[in-house]
Structure 1
Amino acid sequence: MTQEDQKIIVEPKKKVKPNLPKMFKVLVLNDDFTPMEFVVDVLMKVFTKTEDEATRIMLKIHTEGMAICGIYPYEIAETKMNQVLKLAKEAQHPLQSIIEKI
């Protein structure tokens, strides 16, 4: 068998897509008792928002009943939600936070 008779078959490589983590929205819910200043402070501490960003989000929470404060993989979203709840409980405010899958 000569080299011309031998053929090498090369199969195209399959494209491998990385497994991206499922993402979750962290929402803060409005209530009639938590001071707006406290909400702004929490948004700045937990979500590293600027004062202007935190104020805009707080106003959206106040007028629309809730707002997205960030989008993260599950473990981070859960941690952020729990940080909000802990700060609210320590300050004796009823502020609530939830996560929702995107």
Structure 2
Amino acid sequence: MASTDSKTKTLISSKSRNQLPPMYKVILHNDDYTTMEFVVEILITVFGKSLEKATQIMLNVHNRGKAVCGIYPREIAETKVETVHNLASSKGFPLKSTMEKE
């Protein structure tokens, strides 16, 4: 009976994993106008990063052209992208944020 219980648990946990929503990477893209300070501010306020982690991600955006800021379910990722665009636009920056399926 114990083997049946462990098989049942395995099937349930496998099924649960398969039912998780697809996750999306939120990506910031480099441009020649948005300040590094603003990108760090976005990473702290929108993505909840520490100053150290935000600075590291900002430098990746600057040096590599883009960087992943976080991985979220679709609706949250869409909201993060929209929030970045709204905040950047309100400050006159063309900062681009996109999302792609993980």
Secondary structure of 2:70 counterpart? strand
* Matches of 2:11 and 2:63, distance apart in 1: 46
* Matches of 1:87 and 1:96, distance apart in 2: 11
Alignment partner, residue 44 of structure 2: 44
Identity %: 50
Q: Which runs of 5+ in 2 are unaligned?
A: none
Shift of residue 15, structure 1, vs aligned partner: 1.8
Letter aligned with residue 24 of structure 1: Y
Task: Provide TM-score, normalisation by structure 2.
Answer: 0.85
Count matched residues.
92
Q: Which runs of 5+ in 1 are unaligned?
A: 1-9
Per-residue deviation, residues 35-61 of structure 1 (Å, max 9, x unmatched): 100000011000000111100000000
RMSD: 1.5
Secondary structure of 1:15 counterpart? helix
- Please state which structure has a larger fraction of its residues in helix: 2
Alignment partner, residue 72 of structure 1: 72
Task: Provide TM-score, normalisation by structure 1.
Answer: 0.85
